[in-house]
């Protein structure tokens, strides 16, 4: 290709027209990209119809970025200046511009050029990659990688040296990130993470005759510890002592601040028993109250007053549970027994023998309930646990009834007044 030298048109008047074939400008040494440029001192005026060109823009991935600019996506005149701007979305960056065939055009952003014809230009974007730097003293850190793409999940784990334990993670500026270990987070930029360790103090608990609930562990200086134990069966907690046997506290749980390695011993004592309360309702007395050791025999006895009969021992909530109808009652002391027993009585006689005189009485013999001085009374007979067995009106002194062996309470109303009696049916 032959290019004209700068002196070819020397002394040619400026009004002289120079004709340069379209598409051959470079052959004539014209390199200007301005529409009003001059060539070797002569004005460049096109003497052909000015064609319109179209600039088309694309991206390699619309989720990574988009293109804006001046004089794009419209028909524009030949040699018009076009400005393209690549706009990456968060977490991505611009790489380069290419033509329709993938040939690299520029890495500049914005990209400025003059239109010489229809053109397709593609902006290329890529996801950002970040470094995660790990720092640690008095321990080590492991991670699943050191370089991550934007939005990736990173996992780091700290391992303290002997005599230390992990405390927390901070960023490069010392801001707290997390106390979790391992620690998982989303990477959005270059990141520096520091693992913090501190000297460990061992708190060791001993609990003979008991069970450790909490407190036996490793702690940082100044940490609060909750030492708590539970006594074994037949034991109760007394106090905490230190390594030298000196008393620390009688509290359980025991709260304290760690300042050194410590060994605490929970002291228990054998629970030798419990107090059994024995009392009586109206109509009699009861004996047997006292402190009983586990495994010893608890004995109690009900003594009815004159004109009363014993109806039974009761215990439990509000003394609603019938225990036995025996006046004398005994059992072996365990932790499962009731702690209070009450003897109950009712007005009347024992009714266990034949009677004489005018006193109202009742007794049972050979399948017959014998009544004395109860004519006209309404009679009801109940078992010791309250079940009604008989109900009739006493029209005579005998009432046939086949009753099984046991203790019964007879309640007579009306007639000569109320009368309550206990009688026994023997086998």
Among candidate residues 347, 337, 341, 336, the one with its CA nearest the CA of residue 326: 341
Cα 221 to Cα 205: distance, rounded to the nearest angstrom? 18
CB of 144 closer than 8 Å to CB of 185:
no
The per-residue pLDDT for range 13-66, each reduced to its tens digit, is 666 666 666 666 666 655 555 555 566 566 555 555 556 788 889 999 999 999
Cα 315 to Cα 25: distance, rounded to the nearest angstrom? 121
Among candidate residues 331, 346, 211, 196, the one with its CA nearest the CA of residue 274: 331
Report the pLDDT value the prediction gives residue 270, as an integer from 0 to 100.
80
Report the pLDDT value the prediction gives residue 383, as an integer from 0 to 100.
78
pTM of the model: 0.45
Report the pLDDT value the prediction gives residue 52, as an integer from 0 to 100.
77
Cα 313 to Cα 302: distance, rounded to the nearest angstrom? 8
Cα 100 to Cα 344: distance, rounded to the nearest angstrom? 109
CB of 212 closer than 8 Å to CB of 234:
no
CB of 156 closer than 8 Å to CB of 183:
yes
3-state helix, strand, coil in the chain (%, to 5): 0, 55, 45
Report the pLDDT value the prediction gives residue 38, as an integer from 0 to 100.
60
By CB atoms closer than 10 A (0-12, 13-18, 19+), residue 63 is exposed
Report the pLDDT value the prediction gives residue 14, as an integer from 0 to 100.
60
Identify the segments of the chain with pLDDT beneath 50: 1-3, 351-357
Cα 162 to Cα 194: distance, rounded to the nearest angstrom? 19
Cα 30 to Cα 45: distance, rounded to the nearest angstrom? 13
Cα 121 to Cα 110: distance, rounded to the nearest angstrom? 13
Report the pLDDT value the prediction gives residue 95, as an integer from 0 to 100.
97
Strand, coil or helix: 208: coil
Cα 276 to Cα 332: distance, rounded to the nearest angstrom? 12
The per-residue pLDDT for range 323-378, each reduced to its tens digit, is 888 899 898 887 677 889 999 999 875 544 333 345 777 788 888 888 888 888 88
């Amino acid at each position: 290709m032959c290019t004209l030298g700068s002196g070819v048109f020397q002394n040619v008047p400026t009004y002289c027209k120079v004709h340069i074939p379209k598409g051959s400008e470079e052959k004539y040494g014209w390199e200007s990209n301005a529409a009003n440029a001059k060539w070797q001192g002569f004005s460049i005026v096109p003497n052909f119809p000015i064609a319109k060109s179209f600039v088309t823009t694309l991206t390699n991935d619309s989720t990574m970025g988009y293109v804006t600019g001046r004089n794009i996506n419209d028909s524009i005149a030949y040699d018009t200046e076009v400005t393209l701007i690549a706009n990456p979305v968060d977490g991505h960056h611009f790489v380069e511009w290419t033509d329709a065939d993938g040939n690299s055009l520029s890495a500049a952003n914005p990209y400025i050029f003059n239109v010489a014809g229809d053109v397709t230009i593609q902006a290329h974007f890529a996801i950002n990659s970040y470094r995660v730097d790990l720092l640690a003293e008095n321990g080590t850190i492991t991670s699943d990688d050191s370089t991550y793409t934007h939005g990736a999940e990173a996992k780091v784990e700290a391992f303290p040296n002997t005599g230390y334990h992990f405390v927390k993670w901070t960023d490069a500026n010392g801001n707290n990130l997390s106390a979790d270990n391992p620690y998982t987070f989303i990477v959005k930029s270059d990141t520096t993470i520091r693992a913090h360790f501190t000297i460990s103090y061992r708190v060791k608990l001993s609990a003979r005759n008991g069970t450790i609930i909490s407190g036996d562990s490793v702690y940082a200086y100044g940490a609060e510890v909750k030492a708590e134990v539970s006594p074994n069966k037949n034991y109760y907690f007394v106090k905490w002592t230190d390594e030298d046997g000196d008393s620390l506290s009688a509290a359980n749980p025991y709260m304290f601040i760690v300042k050194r390695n410590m060994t605490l011993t929970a002291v228990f004592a054998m629970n030798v028993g419990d107090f059994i309360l024995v009392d009586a309702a109206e109509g009699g007395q009861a004996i047997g109250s006292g402190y009983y050791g586990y495994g010893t025999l608890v004995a109690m006895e009900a003594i009815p007053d004159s004109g009363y009969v014993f109806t039974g021992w009761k215990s439990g909530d509000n003394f609603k549970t019938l225990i036995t109808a025996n006046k004398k009652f005994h059992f072996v002391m365990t932790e499962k027994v009731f702690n209070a027993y009450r003897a109950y009585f009712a007005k009347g006689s024992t009714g266990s023998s034949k009677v004489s005189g005018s006193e109202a009485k009742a007794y049972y013999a050979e399948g017959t309930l014998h009544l004395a001085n109860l004519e006209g009374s309404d009679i009801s007979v109940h078992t010791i646990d309250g079940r009604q067995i008989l109900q009739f009106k006493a029209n005579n002194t005998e009432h046939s009834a086949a009753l099984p062996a046991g203790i019964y309470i007879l309640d007579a109303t009306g007639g000569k007044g109320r009368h309550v009696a206990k009688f026994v049916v023997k086998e």
